[in-house]
Amino acid sequence: MTEPQGTDMPDDLTTAERAVWTAFENGRTCDLRDGDPFGDDPFAGPVWGPERSVRADVVAHLLLHGPPPRPGRVCALKLRGAYITGRLALAGGTVAPYVELAGCRFENEIKLPEAHFTTVRMVDCVIPRLEAARLHTEGDLHLPRCRVEHGIRLTDAQIGTDLLINQIRVGPDRRGRAIAADGLCVAQDLQAELIETRGEVSLRGAKVGVSLSLRGSRLRAVEGRRALNAPQLTVERTLYMTRAWVNVAGDQGATPPFGVVAGAAGGADGAGAAAVASDGRAPGAREQRFECHGGVRLDDGRFGDAIDFHQARFVLSDARREELSLRRIATPELRFNGERPEEGRVVLNGAKVVTLIDLSTSWPGPGGLAMGGFVYENLVPYSRFPLARRLEWVAAATPEYAPEPYERLAAVLRNSGEDADAREVLLAKQRRRRETLPLAAKLWGYLQDWTVAYGYRPGRAALWMAVLWAAGAVAFSRYHPAAIKPDEHPEWNPSLFALDLLIPVINLGQDGYWRLQGNWQWAAAALILLGWILATTVAAGASRLLRRS
């Protein structure tokens, strides 16, 4: 391209490029579309000719060293329906003008590493690849509804306000990553709603100043990669991996782009969301849930408000050992009420959650859940969650006996005033522990369980005592033994004698004065032995309760 003299327009510009140059000076939109909906479609339309072609070098020259604005105007690159030929390379450059490209096609990748922008908006564009490591913007970066065939790289990028990539479609790069954004920093919201990716979305160590929304998105892994790899992710508010309502009749040109009208909780998101139903649905909208085909890693993440998995669907593979990994996360609220994963594992080892909101049908079965060291303080079931199902939840997480999940659940139930349920949980813990004991200890455990339920049901001990006392009283009422010392004995009382044998330690003045013979000796010995068993098991249970209180 011939260099201009001063601020003059270069002589070798095409008609389309002259139109772009003039529009840039005036801060106006240069529209190269011809008005045919099919012909103007950047995704499926025919090949565009030279009348719509603009060289990438011309675009770069305007952005980096463009002419001054016309009097009363502000320079801006606003371009619609253009075919950008060549490679747009702005690496390390500082771009002051506002940039907005809509419905454009790029012949080659866009290279923006270490570039500085104010605001960049590319909507409905076809981009082979976007290379923007360490990009810095003072304002927004918008890429809604774009199609990027070979991945996006935003490693260590700094976005001054919002990053909006709603409804984008991204394919994998040579390393199997669709979006590589490790170390990304977004000052406000990261909106990635209704996106479709094939390849790993990598957000390792990323920081989001407000919320990260993946509502209604579909992430699909490729071989050897996760669908979402985001360890040490920090989100100051909420991570949404929930359903979205898709407004098929929305405004294609709106910002935020049409489509996302409501999240899982019924809140408004995007243009045209003012008139919604009570469930957050706009008239004529359809529901699209969040789907993830492949592993998810959120280990060591920090989330200021919540992680929301409402109606999310995770398709994991046992063969590839895929996991929904939430190891050591910290969040005030975890909403785990999506669809039950049929394969793979959900891992909560070391996670710290204040309030767990869950659904009984959302948790995987035995072998599919791990929660060693999982700490939570409150349980709020999304719908009815019976204690029996809650115990199955703990059992599913402990293929081998571990006391900590039972004790954590019991402590949470006791703190919420459910003392009876807490005792049932501790009883279930003792029964699981019994399975690991040797035969003699196991038999002793069965006896304690059958008699007094390990001391967690003291009423059962009182009942057994009453039954044995009554049986002993009736039996000894038919027998009057001889006194050991004829001159030193109380009056024979079969009821007090049976009770004196049954209650250890306490002396009621009957035992030790009578000479029992034959089978009556065995009957007395049985009462004494059963009394000691009942007393020791009740004492053991009481001591456990006192230690936990």
Task: Answer for the pair 530, 469: CB distance below 8 angstroms, yes or no.
Answer: no
Please check the confidence at residue 250 and state whether its pLDDT lies above 70.
Answer: no
- Cβ within 8 Å of residue 416, ≥6 positions away: 378, 379
Tokens for 319, please give them. Answer: 């063969």
Give the strand pairing for 98-102 and 76-80: parallel
Q: How many other C-beta atoms can be found within 10 angstroms of the C-beta atom of residue 134? A: 18
Residue 167 has pLDDT above 90, yes or no: yes
Grouping H, G, I as helix, E, B as strand and the rest as coil, residue 153 is: strand
Question: HEC string of 466-517?
Answer: HHHHHHHHHHHCCCCCEECCCCCCCCCCHHHHHHHHHCCCCCCCCCCCEECC
- pTM of the predicted protein model: 0.81
**Stretch 389-409: mean pLDDT, rounded?**
90
Q: What percent of the chain is predicted at pLDDT more than 90?
A: 58
What is the residue type of 12? D
Q: Which helix (H) or strand (E) holds 375?
A: strand 375-381
Hey, what amino acid is at 113?
P
Annotate 243-303 with DSSP letters as a single string.
Answer: -EEE-TTS-TT-SSPTTB-B-TTS-B-STT-SS--TTSPPTT-EEE--EEES-EE-TT-EE
pLDDT (tens digit per residue) in 267-325 = 433 333 344 454 555 566 788 999 999 999 999 999 999 999 999 999 999 988 999 99
Band of pLDDT at residue 263, cut at 50, 70 and 90: very low
Tokens of 457: 């049901």
Confirm if 541 and 454 have CB atoms less than 8 A apart.
yes
Query: How do residues 69-105 score in pLDDT, each as one tens digit?
Result: 999 999 999 999 999 999 999 999 999 999 999 999 9
Query: Could you tell me the two tokens for 99?
Result: 């940039």
